[in-house]
Amino acid sequence: MLKLISYKDISTHSDLFFNQFQLRHREFIERQSYAVKSIDGMEFDEYDSLAAQYLVFTEDGRTVLGCSRLTPIDLGCMLADHFPDLVEDKSIFTAPRVWEGTRFCIDSRLPSERRRLICQSLAVGYIEFGLAHGVDQIIGLMPTLILRSVFERAGLTLDRLGSPRAIGAHARIQAAAIPIRPWQRDRVYEATGLRDLLTANFRSVEEHVA
């Protein structure tokens, strides 16, 4: 199941909230030797703010098997702050209704078919979240292989924001944008066979507000 959580859910979904940082520690620091911050076996950075929304995939409601972070770029943007040279037209950094997707992470210990399902679920979650929150584009940077194998294979159309270049151990890292449109939702639903993954999350929010 795919869930959308934030700091507001710490009291009800504390296992999921903190377990995602543990998964990120295993995958980014222990497995890939990223030189990033950690505490008590959890990876974090300055973009894990109160504005962050997290997509988490779980099967038992406690353990996170895949996750990604979504943040509005007007409250902080990793791409603009640390990798602006990957973007040719920097006007996107001041465009309205743009969010950034970062820390896309899947538990590498899982079998390939389960990893593929989680990747597809997160791709669907990007579009469903964006449409529900009035987002125009979700931007980010990833290895070109991941852009193709995760997002384009899931049926999404991407706009490349610049040429790829080598960063760290990755030979080809590229910035891209996902236009958030109803037709993107239709395409990802058709390609993956998954749909309405976040419906229950949004209904819970509406009921709480009401």
Q: Mind listing the pLDDT tens digit for each residue in 53-110? A: 999 999 999 999 999 999 999 999 999 999 999 999 999 999 999 999 999 999 999 9
Of the candidate CATH numbers 1.10.510.10, 3.30.70.330, 3.40.630.30, 3.90.1170.50, the domain formed by 2-209 belongs to 3.40.630.30
SS3 51: coil
Alpha carbon distances (Å) from 108 to 27, 32, 44, 113: 7, 11, 19, 11
Q: Which of 48-62, 79-93, 118-132, 168-182 has the lowest mean pLDDT?
A: 168-182
Is a pLDDT exceeding 50 seen at residue 21? yes
Q: Tokens in use for 134?
A: 């009035």
Q: For residue 168, what pLDDT is reported?
A: 76
Distance CA 65, CA 60 (A): 10
Is a pLDDT exceeding 60 seen at residue 207? no
Q: Tokens in use for 57?
A: 């995939």
Instruction: Answer for the pair 154, 123: CB distance below 8 angstroms, yes or no.
Output: yes
Where do the domains of the chain lie? 2-209
Task: Tell me what percent of the chain is helix, strand and coil, each rounded to the nearest 5.
Answer: 40, 25, 30
Q: For residue 46, what pLDDT is reported?
A: 96
> Whole-prediction pTM value?
0.93
Q: What is the CA radius of gyration of the chain?
A: 16
Distance CA 111, CA 83 (A): 32
- E strand segments, the chain: 2-5, 37-39, 42-44, 53-58, 64-72, 98-106, 137-143, 159-160, 165-167, 170-179
Is a pLDDT exceeding 90 seen at residue 186? yes
Q: For residue 203, what pLDDT is reported?
A: 56
